[in-house]
Amino acid sequence: MAKHIVAAVEEIPPGERKIVEIGGRTIGVFNVNGNFYALRNRCPHQGGPLCQGRISGFLMATKPGGEYSYTRRGEILRCPWHGWEFDITTGQSWFDPAKTRVRAYEVHVEGLPLPEEIGNYLPGPYTAETYPVSVDEKRFVVVEVP
């Protein structure tokens, strides 16, 4: 699996998305309540730009004419071409979750490498002039693509 840094965490606030190109594929990266998910930007129905669709939830009722509640806010993606609905967190379709889905990719949030992760160097016979350096504590959204 190849890892690709696609954004700093603050670039994709909750409820938003960023569409990126990785290895010839267009992928939508979504922030759902602080958790990140990535889906292929191609609807399996007719190849529409799925990740440009509307993000919403579901209006549910316990019985006909009963009280309604709005659930799964920000977890459902509707294709802009024909309205097919997909679960952002899994890539499964709403109408046929067992057979129809869109490709989902693994997403991780990673920080900058710590000095001990950069390498184990042996002290040499030379000394170099050094300067203080500081690094922001940024965290990055990383998508893994096979």
The C-alpha atoms of residue 3 and residue 72 are separated, in whole angstroms, by 29
Beta-sheet strand order (sheet of 104-111): 2-8, 139-145, 104-111, 35-40, 25-32, 17-22
Read off the tokens for 141.
């959204």
How many angstroms separate the Cα of 109 from the Cα of each of 10, 35, 43, 135, 143? 11, 9, 26, 17, 9
Rounded to an integer, the average pLDDT of 10-25 is: 94
pLDDT at residue 98 is higher than 90: no
Q: pLDDT, tens digit, for every residue of 20-68?
A: 999 899 999 999 999 999 999 999 989 999 999 999 998 888 888 888 8
pLDDT score at 139: 80
| Chain centre distance of CA 96 | 23
Rounded to an integer, the average pLDDT of 93-99 is: 86
pLDDT at residue 115 is higher than 90: no
Rg (CA), the chain: 21
pLDDT at residue 120 is higher than 70: no
CATH numbers and ranges of domains, the chain: 2-112+134-145 (2.102.10.10)
Residues 6+ apart with CB under 8 A from 142: 3, 4, 5, 6, 107, 108, 109, 110
Q: pLDDT, tens digit, for every residue of 75-89?
A: 999 999 999 999 999
Rounded to an integer, the average pLDDT of 99-107 is: 94
